[in-house]
Amino acid sequence: METYDALLASITPTSGPTRTVLDPATGDPVGEAPVHTLEDLELAVGAAQAAQPAWAALGHDARSAALLKAADAVERSAEELARLLSREQGKPLNGPNARFEVGACAAWLRTTATTELKPETVVDDGETYAELHYKPIGVVGAIGPWNWPMMITIWQIAPALRMGNTVVVKPSKMTPLSVLALVKVLNEELPGGVLNIISGDREVGARLAEHPAVGKIMFTGSTAAGRAIIKSSADTVKRLTLELGGNDAGIVLPDADPKAIAEGLFWGAFINTGQTCAALKRLYVHDDIYDAVCDELTNVAKTMPMGNGLDENNVLGPLQNKAQYDIVAQLVEAARVSGARILLGGDPDPDQPGYFYPTTLVADIDNDNPLVAEEQFGPALPIIRYSTVDEAVAHANALEVGLGASVWSSDPAAAREVAARIQAGTVWINKHGAVDPRVPFGGAKQSGYGLEFGVEGLKALGVPQVING
């Protein structure tokens, strides 16, 4: 285990171009990240290609053992990784934030390593015998986002490595340090060349997506960026797993208990200060309990401290970057001007350092208001009235995205009936955004395609092969 300073020093480049990464809570420098070039990318892909045959030849058991050791390495450096993540991304150490994210990295590694994927007998009728196997793809490119940089990187690389592929990681230029540190820690237990990282600008990511030696791209990010990856990957017919933008709806049925669900609603919407693809971003509440839900949610939100992530008391942090801050501020101001009622927040302090936007709840807002129709990706939740369940379901399904959704009710059976009508990859009951490494996860409509996690996630990192006879 290294100290925080030693870990940061170990990923600080000693030559070549660099970019200073700033703390979004203070504006202070966190560290220097390398700005790798296209030539560096070629070296990384070449190393992955060279290492892949031997890695695949080890077999599932040996690769799983290596991933379990990698999980141990993450836990040895957990506090140092969490501190670096907090400083770079902004999320607090406590709550479902930095320490939670690092812990999830170890948990996902262990679950991925121990999930069984056996050959499947497709037909065995005495005349025909056919088995379905999954073979390694080769080299996988993993392009990650800035909101959950460590955890989503693990979501991508753990199944890729388990299935016998080697990986080239390209982190967001907003949060390269935490991913560089994570890869450095993982590589303490992995063979050389199996896991490689390139920290570069957009042209490096674009080249990775089109590189002829890369057999699959895993990408988490915006729908617009996903479309670009689809186009750039087409010439080499790459396999793709795309987890793209969402604007998740939650529907509160009239039999729900406002007080009982208030904290779940809060964390469904405001986990990671709202910077989560599968966060609750528009909440539909029945007329009968609308005011009570607004009151109870406001009461909960008032108790959640926001501030510098290194302060152990805080559970909400800043937005990660100025561009995202401006999007949230503009959408809330447009809602205010339209006549929507601000229940809480909406009043950032212009003299406060960092990209802090206060926890904001907006009521009595039209369904076509931009704060509802566009993904805000920050700490502002619009709460929309509805009169009939048919109306709420129609609103939930009206957008072109469909990553997640939720239904809140005292009657789970009734909630499941409503859930089945919603066009989303996952619909949660009385919770929102609760992902599990054993349960498949993926989007519908323009929120992407392909499944992650569990057995289906492993299959997505392999090439199916039928042995017939």
Going by the DSSP 8-state scheme, the letter that residue 120 receives in this structure is E
Q: One-letter amino acid identity for 295?
A: D
Output the CA–CA distances (angstroms, integers) from residue 123 to 119, 129, 465, in the order listed.
Answer: 12, 5, 14
Locate 287 and state its tokens: 């007329």
Whole-angstrom Cα distance, residue 125 to residue 147? 50
Whole-angstrom Cα distance, residue 365 to residue 29? 40
β-strands 401-402, 444-445: how paired? antiparallel
Residue 307: burial class (beta carbons within 10 Å; 0-12, 13-18, 19+): middle
Output the CA–CA distances (angstroms, integers) from residue 13 to 10, 43, 181, 236, 387, in the order listed.
Answer: 8, 17, 12, 33, 59
Could you give the maximum distance between any two Cα atoms of the chain, in Å? Answer: 78
CB proximity list for 225: less than 8 A, separation 6 or greater? 219, 244
Residues with catalytic function? 243, 277
Q: How many CA atoms lie within 13 A of 159 on its CB side?
A: 28
Q: One-letter amino acid identity for 101?
A: E
- Residue 191 near residue 51, CB atoms below 8 Å: yes
